[in-house]
């Protein structure tokens, strides 16, 4: 059976070939909360992402809504509340954030803050009795991730990490094809993510707020893609950093870091992240073909191809009722709360990534391969 015919058959029978992936499809129908009420989100942080990306997506959600905002800018908070029909009481400052426990309209807190603040606000939200969506990376250390998981478990609250690509149609189709053998036995994955950081004053270039450089930002996309495209957990990592410390942007954090991952099947992943060039690419190669995405993980405008040794056929996943990956992830957590299921990208997923991130840094620092499977 040739590669293109196999693709067509797999696309037609995807639910039979990989039923576990159907939980991740952007077309999954959300379940209504008791009484038909949409679950309310409080967005913590009205920066570019929280205000400019996430809040507009509630208009596309079927089971989620904006219920409150948390910001250090009272005027901005009041303006956003007015624009979205929220009462003045739905605007919180960082100083009075903990009083959100008294607001029954807020079911979920979405933490859209600098990395170093993720753990604090996740733990405080759980103590306030709220479920939590936390942006990636989950935190800046394994210890913080573990504390976040423990706090949500103690409070019996759901914890989900904002891995939006698990709800993005091209990445979903690539995962499904890879898992079902469309490219044959997976031999190699290459994934590169980066953009040009131009302003040294940005918080992402301040170690105290970011926890690191490109690896703690764009590197998470490369690491995630290597894991979800292979469907395996890596057993070893070898990393190398390349940073011009005379560049004022990189006095505190790394610019480019590259790492190779080894998997139990024998597959290899070559990964990169960088803050000095624009990259957004995922390529999987198997012994019978390849699956390629470029751009792979943008907010919109992604593309996907399959072929034996090139871009022979461009694929467009069938449209679903959800318009975007963002609405998909927002509704997914709401659905999990209603049904009692665990999120497909919960705290354990964020912790797994952070364990690997720490070993990538260690490998680059020590100049050697680090085993991830406990073997010497």
Question: What's the mean per-residue pLDDT of the chain?
Answer: 91
Q: If we measure between CA atoms, which residue out of 11, 48, 29 comes closest to residue 332?
A: 29
| Residue 1: band (very low, low, confident or very high) from pLDDT cuts 50, 70, 90 | very low
CB 292 within 8 A of CB 284: yes
The residue from 110, 163, 221, 361 that is catalytic is 221
Who's near 373: CB < 8 A, 6+ residues apart?
A: 235, 236
Edge-to-edge strands, sheet with 64-70: 91-92, 64-70, 39-44, 108-111, 131-134, 159-161
Per cent of the chain over pLDDT 70 is 89
Residue-wise pLDDT for 188-246, tens only, equals 999 999 999 999 999 999 999 999 999 999 999 999 999 999 999 999 999 999 999 99
The one catalytic residue among 38, 130, 136, 158: 136
Q: Is 76 a catalytic residue?
A: no
**What single DSSP character describes residue 367?**
T
CA distance 58 to 65: 5
pLDDT band at 7; cut points 50, 70, 90: very low
Distance (Å, whole) CA 122 – CA 254: 26
Average pLDDT rounded to a whole number, residues 69-86: 98
What number is the average pLDDT over the span 317-339?
86
In the predicted model, is pLDDT for residue 320 greater than 70? Answer: no
Per-residue pLDDT tens for 270-299?
999 999 999 999 999 999 999 999 999 999
| Rounded alpha-carbon distances, angstroms, from residue 289 to 14, 183, 286, 320 | 18, 4, 5, 27
Cβ neighbours, 10 Å, residue 205: 21
The residue ranges of DSSP E strands in 234-343, in sequence order, are 236-242, 256-262, 268-274, 279-286, 290-293, 304-307, 313-314
317 pLDDT tier (thresholds 50, 70, 90): confident
The string of pLDDT tens digits covering residues 88-103 is 999 999 999 999 999 9
Q: What angle in degrees, to the nearest 10, is found between the helix axes of 169-179 and 3-12?
A: 110
With contact defined as beta carbons under 8 Å apart, do 314 and 299 qualify? Answer: no
Nearest-angstrom CA–CA distance, 208 and 90: 30
Pairing of strands 64-70, 91-92: parallel
> pLDDT at residue 5 above 50?
no
**Most distant CA atoms of the chain, gap in Å:** 63
Beta-bridged to residue 268, according to DSSP, are 188, 262
17-49: pLDDT as tens digits: 333 333 333 334 445 565 679 999 999 999 999
User: What pLDDT does 375 receive?
Assistant: 87
How are beta strands 131-134 and 108-111 bridged, if at all?
A: parallel
Least-confidence region, from 152-156, 217-221, 318-322, 339-343: 318-322
pLDDT tens readout for residues 109-133: 999 999 999 999 999 999 999 999 9
Using DSSP bridges, classify how beta strands 313-314 and 370-371 pair: parallel, antiparallel or unpaired: unpaired
Among 2-6, 115-119, 253-257, 305-309, which stretch is predicted with the lowest mean pLDDT? 2-6
Q: How far is CA 143 from CA 31, 33, 91, 140, in A?
A: 34, 34, 31, 9
Distance of alpha carbon 142 from alpha carbon 71, whole angstroms: 27
State the pLDDT at residue 36. Answer: 77
Phi and psi at residue 112, to the nearest 5°? -115, 60
Q: Give the global pTM.
A: 0.91
- Active-site residue 94, yes or no? no
The Cα 12–Cα 133 span in angstroms is 33
């Amino acid at each position: 059976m040739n590669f293109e015919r196999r693709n067509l058959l797999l696309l037609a029978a995807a639910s039979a070939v990989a039923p576990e992936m159907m939980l991740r499809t952007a077309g999954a129908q959300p379940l209504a909360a008791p009484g038909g009420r949409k679950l309310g989100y409080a967005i913590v942080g009205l920066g570019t992402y929280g205000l400019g990306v996430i809040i507009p997506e509630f208009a596309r959600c079927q089971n989620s809504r904006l219920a409150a905002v948390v910001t250090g800018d009272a005027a901005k908070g009041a303006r956003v509340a007015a624009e979205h029909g929220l009462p003045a009481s739905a605007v919180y400052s960082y100083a009075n954030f903990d009083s959100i426990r008294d607001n029954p309209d807020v079911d979920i807190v979405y933490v859209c803050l600098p990395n170093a603040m993720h753990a604090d606000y996740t733990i405080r939200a759980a103590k306030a009795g709220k479920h939590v969506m936390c942006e990636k990376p989950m935190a800046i250390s394994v210890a913080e991730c573990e504390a976040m998981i423990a706090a949500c478990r103690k409070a019996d609250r759901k914890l989900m990490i904002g891995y939006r690509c698990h709800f993005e149609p091209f990445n979903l189709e690539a995962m499904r094809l890879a898992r079902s053998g469309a490219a044959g036995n997976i031999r190699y994955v290459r994934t590169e993510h980066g953009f040009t950081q131009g302003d040294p004053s940005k918080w992402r270039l301040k170690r105290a707020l970011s926890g690191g450089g490109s690896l703690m930002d764009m590197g998470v996309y490369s690491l995630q893609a290597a894991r979800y495209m292979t469907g395996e957990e890596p057993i070893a990592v070898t990393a190398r950093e390349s940073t011009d410390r005379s560049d004022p942007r990189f006095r505190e954090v790394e610019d480019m870091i590259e790492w190779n991952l080894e998997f139990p099947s024998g597959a290899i992943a070559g990964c990169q992240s960088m803050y000095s060039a624009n990259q957004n690419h995922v390529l999987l190669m198997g012994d019978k073909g390849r699956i390629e995405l470029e751009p792979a993980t943008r907010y919109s405008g992604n593309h996907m191809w399959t072929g034996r040794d090139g871009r022979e056929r461009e694929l467009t996943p069938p449209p679903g009722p959800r318009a975007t990956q963002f609405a998909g992830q927002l509704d997914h957590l709401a659905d999990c709360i209603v049904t009692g299921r665990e999120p497909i990208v919960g705290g354990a997923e964020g912790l797994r990534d952070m364990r690997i991130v720490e070993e990538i840094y260690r490998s680059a620092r020590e100049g050697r391969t680090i085993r991830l499977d406990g073997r010497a």
